[in-house]
Amino acid sequence: MFIDFPAVNAKMEGLDQVVLPRMVKIRQKYDPYQIQDVPGHLRRELEGKVKDKGSLAGKEIAITAGSRGIPFYQEITRTLVDWLKAQGAKPFIVPSMGSHAGATAEGQVEMLATYGITEENMGCPIRASMEVEELGVLEDGTPIYCDKYAYHSDGIVVVNKVKPHTSFKGPHESGLLKMMVIGLGKHKGAATIHMRGYEEFSRLLLEGGGLYLKKAPILFAVGLVQNAYDDISDLEVIEKENIIARDAALLEIAKAKLAKFKFPDTDVLIIDQIGKNIGGAGFDPNVVARRDRIYPGALVSQNIFVRGLTQETHHNASGIGTIEVTTLRCVRDVDWAITWTNMMTANFLPGCRIPCFAENDREALRWAIRTCTGIDYSDARVVRIKDTMHMEEIQVSENLARELQGRDDVEILSEPFDIDFGADGYIKD
């Protein structure tokens, strides 16, 4: 459901005091280590870690595929398919993304296609359904569900990146256990867990993951971690009995590799795009603080201005309600039915509120600066990023660039320049 929002002629005293800053391109430096040959690394892991390969012959094996963006996602999935076929197995792919993509089988297949994961590209079937089987009930009465195709398979390969979650903290966050309990739980399972509240997530993932390992035909897992440059730095094939321990260990590695800003705060942060492929909240609150969640080390901003949505999010603007300003173009690009479905499932309605929307980027930035408090409107500290997955080359206002000069972990890449707006008032990309 798209809405043709009208332009809003809002009045704001003091807007004439706002001077848009000149910007400077900088490079933030992080640990660059990455796996050079990801498919080859995965094949070596499979050969070394998977026991009793001969037993796979003739077996139907489900491979999970989620909604988060992963480098070499298509190649990783195809490598798994080809390796299983080489063992005589009959692999198929199961969309495993809870309520994402409108909580429909068709929408989830379409989302996978965005990543190049199609039946033609993978050389195997994609079996998509929102139907689930109940695995059992936890001690507190919480039922745990599993996708029907995966449940009735001869084995499940759980694939997911491990990263800090955007809304809760614990020994298990966004990773392999979450892929099982919520991803494979489809809409019903995701809604059931979210109804318990984020304060219960850490326990529910551990207990629900344990139930999966007992009752579902879990074969093995593939866990990976991305570095600050969004490259894969760690990738492991994990035996079934080690999934819980390695999920926790990979999370600690992921936390250490997370890209952070080289400065603690700013007045206005411009984010070019948000989306579900980037994070559950559209952007990563571990990197950019929200008003409702300020995690240690996250950039604190008075106002966040979001310019638009990623193509991969398929018009899902979950998390947009946690920012302050956007544009008319952005709110018109939102599918509010998909967004509300996702946020209702997550029990986080603030995430789908409609923020103030200006007629274009220029006006949105002026609003964002003017509504900051305790600053000189002619000398605002402003930062611009593409998204929270791309933190190496960013733009900062001239005053902030001066503060960063001389640091070993920051490189100044340009002279100051004016923001390039088109005739329509939107920034030229």
For the stretch 66-107, pLDDT in tens is 877 788 999 999 999 999 999 999 999 999 987 767 778 888
Among 162-176, 303-317, 327-341, 407-421, the minimum mean pLDDT is found in 162-176
Mean predicted confidence (pLDDT) in 369-396 = 95
C-alpha distances out from residue 354 to 307, 330, 350, 395, 416, Å:
14, 11, 9, 27, 34
- pTM score, whole prediction: 0.79
pLDDT of residue 362 exceeding 90: yes
- pLDDT mean across residues, the chain: 92
> Is residue 302 pLDDT above 90, yes or no?
yes
Give the pLDDT mean for 7-13: 88
**Which pLDDT tens digit goes with each residue over 185-214?**
999 998 899 888 888 888 999 999 999 999
Architecture of domain 38-257: 3-Layer(aba) Sandwich (3.40)
Indicate the domain borders of the chain: 15-30+259-412, 38-257
Cα Rg, the chain, nearest whole Å: 22
How do beta strands 265-271 and 382-385 pair? parallel
Spatial neighbors of 133 by CB under 8 A, at least 6 apart, are 145, 146, 147, 148, 151, 152
**What is the rounded distance in angstroms from the CA atom of residue 282 to the CA atom of residue 348?**
13
